[in-house]
Amino acid sequence: MRTPRRHRLLALIPLVLVLALAGCGSGTKSTSSGKTTITVAGSTTVLPIAEIAAEKFEAKTGNQVLVSGLGSSAGIEAVISGTADIASSSRDLTKEEASHELVSTVIAHDGIAIIVNDSNPVKNVTLDQLRDIYAGKIKNWKELGGPDLAIQLVNRDEASGTREAFRSIVMRGAEFDRSAAVLPGTGQVRDVVSRSAGAIGYISIGFVKSDYATTTVKTLTVNGVNATEDNVSNGKYPISRDLYFFTNGDPQGVSFQYIKFVLSDEMTKTIEEAGYIPVNWDQSARSDDSTSTTSGGEGK
């Protein structure tokens, strides 16, 4: 009878280890009473801003902010259903979403850069050409004055706010070519385009130059305008959008404090570093308390 028992003990080892790990883990990070936890869910584009703000905010106030990137739509869905306190979104509300009592706050501006492979000689596209490319009407780079090379479309997934913004600004009612590759992440789009000669994609301008990437991509000018922070900020670059926080009704308590923190000067540099344009980029005066809230119903 001795040996079976030893087996049983052996089998318990991983179990005990697991429990011990879980135990000591939870010990290091117990939230002291009186501090509240809020949840921010939504856009992967806004994720970096929301996360860094959450870290700094927690360090400053002790309140915990849980941030997850499920896509803009999922975030808005979560706020409507009450699962999350704040939805982060890289697009405005749809008509259906706007029927709920959501309050929106613009937290940053973002431009969407059109990227192609470094080897691609094409320099500029017009908005209309871009629409035709993504609708599948223009299929070869030679139609844009480039080499005889099939265009490989790279699109984002439907949960992506970037796709939504691109759709409303560029497609203007035209349908996406559904045979395009659908990739669920910005970095992937960049990587794929950097490795395929005929590929074209779109990403936030902040991600065009990446410290992580080992490869480079080329941005096209759109209607002759370079995709730069300045051009987004002064409105010259045509494909730009706002990044939002949505709350169910006016933000209250910790949620309000958190949103205020995101808009504060402390975050300006971080937002720039993350590749976005802070709302006060153009130094247009903004008082501390105004969080520029507009009723969701007016969106669009």
Partner 1 sequence: MSGSEEQRERGREEHDELLDGLDRPPHISDIEPNKDEALAKSARELKLMDHATYVKERLLKDLFLLCALIAVAAVALIFVFTLAKSLPVFTDIGLGGFFSSTWAPSEGHYGILALLAGSALVTVGALVIGVPLAVGCAVYLTQIATRRVTRVVSTAVDLLAGIPSVIYGFFGLVVLRPIIANASGGLGFGALTAWLVLAIMIVPTITTLSMDALNSVDPGVREASFSMGATRWQTIYKVVLPAAKVGIVNAIVLGMGRAIGETMAVLMIVGNAPVFPHSITSPVATLTSQIALDMGYSSGLHRAALFGMGVVLYVISAGLVGIVRIITSRSERREREASRPATPVAEKDARSVAEGPSASDASALLAQQSSAQLIRSRLDNAKKPRVSKNATDGLMTGVFSAAGIVTTAILVLIIGFVVVNGAPQITPNFIFGWPRGVNAEGGIFPTIVSTLYVTVLATLFATPVAVLAAVYLAEYAHQGRLVNFIRYATDTLASVPSIVMGLFGYAVFVEACGFGLSMLSAALALALLMLPLIMRTTEDAIRSVPRFIRWGAYGLGASKWQVVSKIVLPAAFPRIATGIVLAIGRAIGETAIVLYTMGQAVNLPVTPLDSGRSMPVHLYLLANDGINMGAAYGTALLLMIMILAFNLFARHISKRGARQKGGK
- Interface stretch with partner 1, choices 181-189, 216-224, 260-268, 289-297 (CB under 8 A): 181-189
Give me the least distance between CB of 284 and partner 1, in Å please. 26
Residues ≥6 apart with Cβ < 8 Å to 243: 43, 45, 46, 49, 88, 89, 90, 106, 107, 108, 109, 110, 161, 276
Beta strands, E only, 138-291 = 152-156, 181-183, 199-204, 218-222, 240-248, 277-278
262, with CB counted inside 10 A (0-12, 13-18, 19+), is: buried
- Bridge partners of 67, per DSSP, are 40
Candidate residues 2, 34, 95, 178; the one interacting with partner 1 per rule CB under 8 A: 178
Give me the least distance between CB of 127 and partner 1, in Å please. 21
Helix (H) or strand (E) holding 21: helix 2-28
283, with CB counted inside 10 A (0-12, 13-18, 19+), is: exposed
Give me the least distance between CB of 84 and partner 1, in Å please. 9
Give me the least distance between CB of 252 and partner 1, in Å please. 21
Residues ≥6 apart with Cβ < 8 Å to 144: 122, 125, 129, 138
- When the beta carbons of 63 and 291 are compared against partner 1, the nearer one is 63
208 contacts partner 1 (rule: CB under 8 A): no
Give me the least distance between CB of 22 and partner 1, in Å please. 5
- Interface stretch with partner 1, choices 40-48, 121-129, 221-229, 279-287 (CB under 8 A): 40-48
**Tokens standing for residue 105:** 């706050």
Per-residue contact track with partner 1, 5 to 24, x per CB under 8 A? --xx-xx--xx--xx-xx--
| Other CB atoms within 10 Å distance of the CB of residue 210 | 17
296 contacts partner 1 (rule: CB under 8 A): no
Give me the least distance between CB of 226 and partner 1, in Å please. 23
How far is it, in rounded angstroms, from Cα 69 to Cα 75? 8
Which positions lie near partner 1, rule CB under 8 A? 1, 3-4, 7-8, 10-11, 14-15, 18-19, 21-22, 25-26, 29-30, 39, 41, 44, 47-48, 51-52, 55, 66-74, 77, 83, 150, 152, 154, 157-159, 175, 178-192, 195-199, 207, 210, 212-213, 273-274
